[in-house]
Amino acid sequence: MIISKDIFSVYRIYKTCIVVFLVVFSFHAKAQQSEKKIDFILSQKEIEVTGNDLTNIVLKVINRGNVALDARVRIVADKSMQLLSKENRKVNLQPGDSLFIPVKFLMTDKHIAGLDYKVNFYLEDGKGLLKQDTCIIRIGVKKNVTMTALISTIILNGLNDSINIPLRIANEGNTIQKISIVPTFPSTSQGSGFHSTIQLILPAFKDTLIYIHKPITREILQSESYTINILGIYFNGDLFGQSNVDVQVLKSVRKRNFDPEITPYRGNYNNSISLTAQNFLNEYAAYELAGGGVVDFPGARMGYNIDATVFQNDPNHPNLRNTFLSFEGHNTGLTVGNISRNFDLNLTGRGATAFLADTARKSNYEVGYIDNLSNLISNSGNLIYDSGRSAWGKFEHTGKSLVFQTTAIYNRDPYMLVDNVLIINDFSWITSKKNRLSATFNAGSTDGFTDSTKKKSGFLAGLNADWKIKGLLLNSSNLVSSGYYPGSRKGSSIFTERLSYYSKRVNLWAGFNYFNYHPGSLPGNIYSTKYGSSKSEIGVSKIFGNLSFLLSPLYQTEMGQYSLVLNSYSQEKIESLRLVTQMNYSNRVTKQSLFLNLESGVAHNSFNDKDQFQLKVSGNYRYGPFNLNANLQYGNFYLGEAFNSYTKQIGNFSNINIVPGIQKKLFKNKMIVDAGISYSKSSTTGKSWLLTGRTEYQLSSGTQCFASLAGSQYAFNEYKYTSNNLQLGITQKIANARLGKNLNTLDVFVYRDQNQNGQYDKGDINAFQQLIYINGIAFITNKEGVVTYKNLKESIYSISIPTSGNWYSSDQQILLNQKHIRLEIPLSKTATLKGKIKYVFNEFSYEIKKAQLGITIEASDERGRITRTKTDDIGQFVFYLPVGNYTISVASNELQEEVTCSNNNQDVLVVQKKIENLNFELSIKGRKVETKKFVSPSILKSNIKN
């Protein structure tokens, strides 16, 4: 019993001690917390970078307690980040003091976008963690795909050759990219001019090597030379790279073709002539001769064009249209014949026009006169009315960002019985960001032939804008003209507005179009109609890989005057509300594409009190050589269709049209065959069939013939019409003729000089199939060892022959100042000379980089001619030199200042069948070392005592 009481007493004492300890500890902890009140603040909690960015974060530590702070800051960054500041930093702060700690780190360009990286900050003392915080580093998207063609020139030597272009594609950005590589070949090598597009998906920080391959055809070999343009395009259509590869076809004879930049003339001519027979073997046959070309003179050019048609049943009245003769030279020009000008009054007729170009002020002047007849050899006296006449003068100034045009026109129109006078003023301004503003202000008058009191004046004003701000694009076109404005757009009000937003994910737009046409007419003239329409729409489109969708609701109105009763016109109107849906699919791998367009809605027109359903479906499907077009319509979409349906009492308008076709290339693309059939059925115009076929065949590089057949049948009610049209034709390309030019010919004869005497004599051999470059153009010698370059201007030409086998010739230049010059080049036998450089140094030498790659070695022959080569990455070099004595040396001016060649300028005899080896010692200079003796003070003091 006594033992139990003692145990109970001890338990009570133990419990009391624990309670006292807990209370004291809690008070101490609270006191310590109050003593260590700290602010731990980061200048930025989140940072966005794109890679290779040096980023700063400032950490602020404030001691707001009443005791000194003795701690350290520890910084821990993700392993992929490069922390440039110290990872640990001591912090000693008195109460009320603060400390700013700058922290620098580098985000390399190998971080992938879309991931978060962390930098953690810890404040610790001897007892543990006091504070902590984290900064999040986000990697922004960086697009940077590069494309490099690993070759710049391809030389072709025959049909057995092929084009292979290696391309290195590198994604140096931080996000995966879907790209397309589009090579463009000339149309002579491929009808469309394009190679199959190559599509790639390239991960971030990866590269790849692809090859563009194309077999050689006869058309390519006949082109002699051309450039292959290769484009690199992002998925959204932006261009990221462009490379050009020059292709040269080896020939022994060439004619120099002059670039367009050398003869900057205005006239464009197709340099071909075509003869075509239409409705062949038919009483309505017609024969057409069409084409044009140029004749070049020194500093001038004459151009010609002809378009003549003769009808079999009326051979005495040929028709000559678009037939003219032009002459240009020294910034002036004159054209005589058929003249056409597309002003606001379209002018076409027979006459002449002349121009003057002031290139210094970037201004152009033009005047012209025509008689308004389209047939060059027509007799105007046979017409019911006079043809009329037109005259004009035009001034144009083209500045860096501003373009201004003003034109004055006089036009006499016997058909409308009026004289027109018109002044046209056009302004265009292009900003540095390729935004565009343009304005038009025109004024003029219309005067009646018989009554001068009928004279009316009018004007036209317009303002257009194409403006882009980031992803927003504004297109605005606005025009207003009075009823008696003499131009073709008289009495018009046209407003077209469109606002678009483009992004990688979706495209949005909203548009509005308003058109009103109500021209005035002079008393007694032909009645002028009144017409108006409007359209409002919004839309959205999105691309899903090879598939794209479009959705667009629209509201459309149309108004016009129609005669429902004789000599009486009423105002009619149609309104419609429709939804437009489009789908587009394209797959270059399977060579398939599909396009579908669906429009459906409700319309109401003034010819019918009831609402009418509208449906229109159109589509196109293409697979390889096969192509199919189809259109289906039900309901009146336009006012003219509603009028025809009303007058014919057929209710709703309907139409169907189906057009399948096929195109096939045969005989290595020499022949192209097209065939198709068209079926159409309309509720207002009946049904029709059309069968077409066309064959083109390339007879030679400049000659092409074709044959086509079209058979049609049209039926409506009791009417039936059938026709067949056979066409035959041939087209011949024409080379530019040149007269009066001092053009020369250069013949280069290359032979192997067996006896090394520099003369072609017995025993020497013609160099057959030897590659030669003349001003960078590749040639190959014929069996006689000769190449010929024609149509050359007087100049200095460079000839170089690459070393082949054991034969060599140095580069040469020749002044071509005679009609015909023959140059003979002997090829000398070559031998091989090898060598190596070696650095020599000791412990006192300067510490420098011992570069071995790219050091120039020179070989000088007895005539002082120098041949150079460079060392490889291990210091070795090689020469292929003609037999003879040479002095071989290291180019001292390219060595580092601390390096000298101790055995430079070595003489050597180069002979065949023996490979000489030379070694050059590159000595690295030594540092100057001064030696001084020092005596210990204790020894010195001991010596003094002694």
Q: How confident is the model at residue 596 (pLDDT cuts 50, 70, 90)?
A: very high
CB 519 within 8 A of CB 555: no
Question: Is residue 805 scored above 70 in pLDDT?
Answer: no
Question: Considering only CA atoms, which of 838, 890, 893 is closest in space to residue 859?
Answer: 890
Q: 94: helix, coil or strand?
A: coil
Contact status, residue 789 vs residue 822, Cβ threshold 8 Å:
no
* 570/554 Cα distance (integer angstroms): 27
| CA proximity to 148, closest of 173, 170, 175 | 170
Per-residue pLDDT tens for 122-160? 999 888 899 999 998 888 777 889 998 888 888 887 655
pLDDT (mean) for 412-424? 88
Rounded Cα gap, residues 389 and 394, in angstroms: 17
Per-residue pLDDT band for 880 (boundaries 50, 70, 90) equals confident
pLDDT at 8 over 50: no
- Percent with pLDDT over 90 in the chain: 36
pLDDT at 943: 54
Q: Among candidates 945, 820, 838, which has minimal Cα distance to 901? A: 838
Mean pLDDT, all residues of the chain: 84
E strand spans, 588-652: 592-605, 608-623, 626-634
Picking from 91, 88, 99, 81, the residue whose alpha carbon sits closest to that of residue 135 is 81
The tokens describing 462, both together, are: 């317009």
**Given this model, what pLDDT does residue 26 score?**
47
* Chain-centre distance for alpha carbon 15: 89
Taking residues 676-696, report their average pLDDT. Answer: 92
> When comparing pLDDT for 731 and 203, which is higher?
731
- Answer whether residue 728 shows pLDDT above 70: yes
Q: What is the pLDDT at residue 845?
A: 77
Q: How confident is the model at residue 11 (pLDDT cuts 50, 70, 90)?
A: low
From residue 430, how far is each of 404, 469, 471 by CA, in Å? Answer: 12, 14, 19
In this prediction, residue 185 carries a pLDDT of 78
Distance, CA of 595 to CA of 97 (rounded, Å): 73
- Are the beta carbons of 680 and 657 closer than 8 angstroms? yes
Closest listed residue to residue 880, CA positions, set 859, 856, 853? 859
Q: Taking the alpha carbons of 39, 43, 48, 52 in that order, is the dihedral positive or negative?
A: negative
* Per-residue pLDDT at 678: 95
**Quick one: pLDDT at residue 137?**
86
CA dist 85 and 102 (Å) reads 8
> What tens digit of pLDDT does each residue of 735-754 get?
777 777 678 899 999 999 88
Q: How many residues does the chain have?
A: 946
Per-residue pLDDT at 809 exceeds 80: yes
> For 215-244, what is the mean pLDDT?
80
Q: What is the pLDDT of residue 527?
A: 52
Q: Which string of DSSP letters, residue by residue, matches 249-274?
A: E--SEEEPPPPGGGS--S-----EEE
How many Å separate Cα 151 from the centre of its chain? 20
Judged against a pLDDT cut of 80, whether residue 929 lies above it is answered with no
- Average pLDDT value for residue range 352-362: 92
Q: Residue 225 pLDDT more than 70?
A: yes
Contact 908, 918 (CB under 8 A): yes
Query: What average pLDDT score do residues 362-366 get?
Result: 94
**What was the pLDDT predicted at 443?**
96
Q: For residue range 750-780, what is the model confidence (pLDDT) as tens digits?
A: 999 888 788 898 888 999 988 898 988 889 9
Categorize the per-residue pLDDT at 194 as very low, low, confident or very high, splitting at 50, 70 and 90: very low
Tokens representing 548?
């794209």
942: pLDDT strictly greater than 70: no
What one-character-per-residue DSSP string does 828-866 give?
EEEEEEEEEEEEE--TTB-------TT-EEEEEETT--E
Confidence of residue 191 (pLDDT cuts 50, 70, 90): very low
pLDDT at 380: 53
Q: What is the pLDDT of residues 39-87, one digit of tens each?
A: 898 988 888 887 667 788 899 999 988 888 899 999 998 877 888 888 8
Helix, strand and coil in the chain, % to nearest 5: 5, 60, 30
Question: Is the pLDDT assigned to residue 936 strictly greater than 60?
Answer: no
**H/E run at residue 37:** none
The reported pLDDT for the residue numbered 781 is 92
514 has a pLDDT exceeding 60 = yes
Please provide the DSSP assignment of 733-767 as one string. E-PPEE-S---EEEEEEEEE-TT-SSS--TT-EE-
Residue 261 has pLDDT above 60, yes or no: no
Confidence bin at 930 (pLDDT 50/70/90): low
Give residue 754's pLDDT.
84
Residues facing 555 on adjacent strands: 536, 577
> Of 225-234, 242-251, 343-352, which one has max mean pLDDT?
343-352
Top pLDDT among 247 and 36 is at 247
DSSP state of 14: H
pLDDT in tens, 446-496: 988 776 667 889 999 999 999 988 888 999 999 999 999 999 899 999 999
Burial 857-892 (b: 16+ CB within 10 A, else e): bbbbbeeeeebebebeeebebebbbbebebbbbbee
Kindly tell me if the per-residue pLDDT of 401 is higher than 50: yes
215: left (phi over 0), alpha (psi -120 to 50) or beta: beta
Tokens matching residue 162:
């092929």
Lowest-confidence range among 98-107, 563-572, 788-797?
563-572
- Cα Rg of the chain, angstroms: 43
